[in-house]
Amino acid sequence: MKIVIANDHGAVELKFKLIDWLSAQGHEVVNLGVDAEDRVDYPDQAGLAVREFEKGGYDFGIVCCGTGIGISIAANKYKGIRCALIHDSYTALMAKEHNNANFVAFGGRVEYAEPVEHILDVFMKADFQGGRHATRVAKLDELC
């Protein structure tokens, strides 16, 4: 898979952890930074990731900030982006199966009960179920 990832200063360590794991699995990751803990605004980082994703060729995007909340809200402001703030295997599975999320968000300051790599793996292996969910996703896409 080809994945774009962006983060703010609150998720530098987490971003590198995800990149290392994804790369070890053979995926191509485009890192839009930031790579240091100097302050940067999460809406700007979400915008970078979305604009890169919109160029095409990506399977999905990952955005990270301190909690994952702000950057997921920012990503969802863009037409066609369905960014899910996932925090465990179940939300990761539902984000793909029911909502066909094309972005996921994580928080660098969040203590996850499961390893984030496992959560991301569940999302990546899931398939959109379509059917009644396709109608709902279409309605989501019409909101922007």
For the cut 70, the answer to whether the pLDDT of residue 144 exceeds it is: no
Domain enclosing residue 87, as ranges: 2-142
Domains held by the chain: number: 1
Q: Which residue among 64, 83, 87, 98 is the active-site one?
A: 98
Active site residue 9: no
Q: Which residue among 9, 27, 64, 65 is the active-site one?
A: 65
Active site residue 98: yes
**How do residues 50-62 score in pLDDT, each as one tens digit?**
999 999 999 999 9
For the cut 80, the answer to whether the pLDDT of residue 124 exceeds it is: yes
CATH number at residue 76: 3.40.1400.10
DSSP assigned state of 54? T
The label of the residue with tokens 């396709």 reads 134
Structure pTM? Answer: 0.96
**How do residues 68-102 score in pLDDT, each as one tens digit?**
999 999 999 999 999 999 999 999 999 999 999 99
Q: Are 108 and 11 in contact (CB under 8 A)?
A: yes
Dihedral over Cα of 27, 97, 91, 141: its sign: positive
